[in-house]
Amino acid sequence: MKLYEYVIRRLILLVFVLLSVSVIVFYFARGFPTGIAPWAPYIHPKMTAEQIEEVKRAHGFDKPLVEQYFYWLRDVLHGDWGLTGAWAQGRPANEVFFNHFGYTVELAVAGTILTIIIGIPLGIISAVKNNKLPDHISRIIALAGYSTPAYWFGFILQLIFFYYFYLWGLPYLPSSGASDLGTATITRIPIIDGLITGNFAYVWDEFRHLILPSFSLAFISLGFLARIVRASMLEVLRQDYITMARSKGLKERVVIYRHALKNALIPAVTLTGIFFAYLLGGAMITEYVFSWPGVGQQALRAVMQGDSNFILLYTLVFAIIIVLANLIVDVLYAFLDPRIKY
């Protein structure tokens, strides 16, 4: 199979996955016994009974649940994702989503960068000093990372770097929110917004707010990356060409960084890509703990309220991101490792 055939096959599968996900979530979310009635946001107290009927008829809310799906699908294909409930002031679901998506992108990028900066060296040290003290220490850090409850670690960071630093008179970091200086309106990604308008006070404030949540995310996920890098590095270091490089008399540093690292990082690329995709879907708990105004927190609120429109939009975008990320990673893999054929 050629690469482009593979990509096309996967894209066709994407449509299938999206339809299935939407069917499952639709019947789950609309079946909510205590959720927001899907027609409720359209109605205001001054409407007459006839007008209410009219609204219900226009969006198919008077039909049985099985038929309602097709009405929903029709509306979505026309770009109408429905209205959210009172928790988001009844605004259109897609507007709510894209107003908050920039914050999630920012957090995801920062979290991924931190994960790479800490996780990859940790994995390399672990592999090079296999079964020695540095390996044990890095293994404990990595495992502690993914054994840590996300909700707990966020609060610990807040307690130390906000509350105690404040009590001790040290320069403290803000504990919650994305910025004290207003929201981003141009690109909706706050730091880029600040850079465009040249408002460096805003960029600095945003950066300070970003440190704790992104570190919290990175700490929890760097373990996976470090373990993968370690495993693939160990495998690469056993191969003949490494023995060859060593027997040529190359320095150990050159062997590791020039010869081994490139091949060992291929699996790490995959993992980082998938991980970034998951973060783009919103790290729900971290956003909740730090009151970060990203999509994950909005999704959490939507679930608590039983808002089917927002849940549907969120899950579908998430599914698209995950499937596309998998696809991109696969294609990237083929470029990085010429042995792989599709």
Among 231, 269, 327, 331, binds other proteins (CB under 8 A): 231
Q: Does 17 bind other proteins (CB under 8 A)?
A: yes
Q: Does 31 bind other proteins (CB under 8 A)?
A: yes
- Taking alpha carbons only, the member of 12, 14, 5, 1 closest to residue 324 is 14
Binding residues for other proteins, how many (CB under 8 A)? 55
Query: From the CB of 196, what's the least distance to other proteins, in Å?
Result: 31
Cβ proximity to other proteins: between 222 and 319 the closer is: 319
Residue 135 gets the label, from left (phi > 0), alpha (psi -120 to 50) or beta, of alpha
Of 102-110, 179-187, 202-210, 295-303, which segment contacts other proteins by CB under 8 A?
295-303
Q: Does 314 bind other proteins (CB under 8 A)?
A: yes
Among 6, 71, 87, 155, binds other proteins (CB under 8 A): 155
> Does residue 127 contact residue 284 with C-beta atoms inside 8 Å?
no
Quote the CA–CA distance of 114 and 98 in Å, as a whole number.
25
Q: Does 107 bind other proteins (CB under 8 A)?
A: no
Q: Does 159 bind other proteins (CB under 8 A)?
A: yes
Among 156, 244, 254, 340, binds other proteins (CB under 8 A): 156
User: What residues contact 19, with CB distance under 8 A and at least 6 apart?
Assistant: none
> Does residue 174 contact residue 208 with C-beta atoms inside 8 Å?
yes
Q: Where are the alpha helices (DSSP H) in 159-198?
A: 165-167, 190-197
Q: Does 151 bind other proteins (CB under 8 A)?
A: yes
Cβ proximity to other proteins: between 81 and 202 the closer is: 81
Q: Does 148 bind other proteins (CB under 8 A)?
A: yes
- Taking alpha carbons only, the member of 44, 65, 62 closest to residue 53 is 62
Q: Does 303 bind other proteins (CB under 8 A)?
A: yes
- Taking alpha carbons only, the member of 176, 152, 151, 150 closest to residue 163 is 176
Q: Does 177 bind other proteins (CB under 8 A)?
A: no
Among 1, 49, 77, 304, binds other proteins (CB under 8 A): 304
The token duo for 308 is 């089917």
Q: Does 299 bind other proteins (CB under 8 A)?
A: yes
- Taking alpha carbons only, the member of 298, 284, 238 closest to residue 264 is 238
What does 292-312 look like in DSSP terms, one character per residue? Answer: --SHHHHHHHHHHHT-HHHHH
Q: Does 136 bind other proteins (CB under 8 A)?
A: yes
Q: Summarize as ranges the residues that interact with other proteins (CB under 8 A).
A: 13, 16-17, 20-21, 24-25, 28-29, 31-35, 136, 139-140, 143-144, 146-153, 155-156, 158-159, 163-164, 167, 227, 231, 234-235, 281-282, 284-285, 288, 299-300, 303-304, 306, 311, 314-315, 318-319, 322-323
